[in-house]
Amino acid sequence: MARRTLSPLIAVTGPRRGGKAPRLLVHLAILLAGGRPVHLRPGGPHSHDMTNYDGVVITGGHDIDPVLYASQSEVVPKYDSERDKLESDVIDDALARGLPLLGICRGAQLLNVRLGGTLFQELRSRRKQTSNRWTILPLKTLLIEADSCLRELLRGQRVKINSLHNQGIDVLGDGLIVSGRDLDGIVQGIEAPGQRFLIGVQWHPEFLIFQARQRRLFKALVEAAKTHRQNAGSQMPCEGIG
């Protein structure tokens, strides 16, 4: 009974080294949303414990090794195989247990891959109306699909986002739909209809937590994790989010 009174525990993944700023911002966003973050890294103290948390955030970082979606490398490789392995295991476990999951940038891509999807290994050649420049500032336009969980959470059809990615989603994984694209039609949001909370976003909402709409992504994750902990399986995505 004591565990039920605690805030939901949210696993935050990351690399063995580096990526400190995004993970700290995700940590803060989860705290602000009422959750308790715990960090999972290759070789870290919690890397073998995948039974005690109630929700997951897969953070951004290096490109995903294309061998994971049965493809050959088309770009100069900059992969992190031990992180790929850890996060693949975390995603597979979350899917098997029905845990709420938010994939950010690389995390959205890996979620798509674990569900059988594929990626574009470079996006520069696919951009016509948008810049390939990386920026943490909300300077790019997100077009959100109607009747999506993402539309409900961000409360708008056109929203400004940032962009820090080389790769993008090509073929969708099983059970996923596109919930948002940029002005070039590049996928920026995916979700699984009917799941309590299974969302991937290509941008970095942790750098935009000064915006209430971006904080709602983390709030929705924490609320879904709380519901999962309490075994109230009837609640659907986006319900009960203020």
Which residues are catalytic, by number? 105, 204, 206
Encoded amino acid at 204, one letter = H
- Tokens 């904080």 sit on residue: 215
**Distance separating alpha carbons of residues 53 and 39, to the nearest angstrom:** 11
What value does the CA radius of gyration of the chain take, rounded to a whole number of Å? 17
Q: Is 27 strand, coil or helix? A: helix
**Distance separating alpha carbons of residues 38 and 150, to the nearest angstrom:** 25
Phi and psi at residue 108, to the nearest 5° = -65, -40
Phi and psi at residue 137, to the nearest 5° = -85, 150
Phi and psi at residue 131, to the nearest 5° = -80, 150
Structural contact between residues 152 and 219, judged by C-beta atoms closer than 8 angstroms: no
Phi and psi at residue 179, to the nearest 5° = -110, -10
CA dihedral 19, 20, 26, 29 (to 10 degrees): -150
Bridge partner list, 57: 12, 102
Q: State both tokens at 122.
A: 């470079």
